[in-house]
């Protein structure tokens, strides 16, 4: 069986920076003061950047940029740890 992944993304515009973790229902959100702070938090927790794209087609997020991340699932580890 292949590797299983969990996913999150940083969403940002000129007024907001936050991480959305997708392994929970509803998705879990966490706010940050800067992009550097958000990137450092994910980097220290073994998240890998997959792509960075504008979010022109996501309703409610026109003009935002999305940084998409993945990491291997580890049983018992919380999505934001």
pLDDT tens string 64-73 = 788 899 999 8
Label residue 61 by pLDDT band (50, 70, 90).
low
The structure's pTM equals 0.81
Element (H, E) at 40: helix 35-44
| Cβ–Cβ under 8 Å, residues 78 and 72 | no
């Amino acid at each position: 069986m292949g590797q299983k992944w969990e996913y999150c993304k940083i969403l940002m515009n000129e007024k907001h920076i936050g991480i959305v973790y997708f392994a929970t229902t509803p998705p879990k959100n966490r706010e940050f003061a800067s992009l550097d702070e958000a990137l450092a938090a994910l980097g220290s927790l073994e998240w890998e950047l997959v792509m960075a794209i504008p979010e022109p087609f996501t309703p409610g997020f026109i003009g935002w940029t999305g940084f998409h991340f993945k990491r291997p699932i580890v049983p018992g580890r919380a999505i934001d740890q």
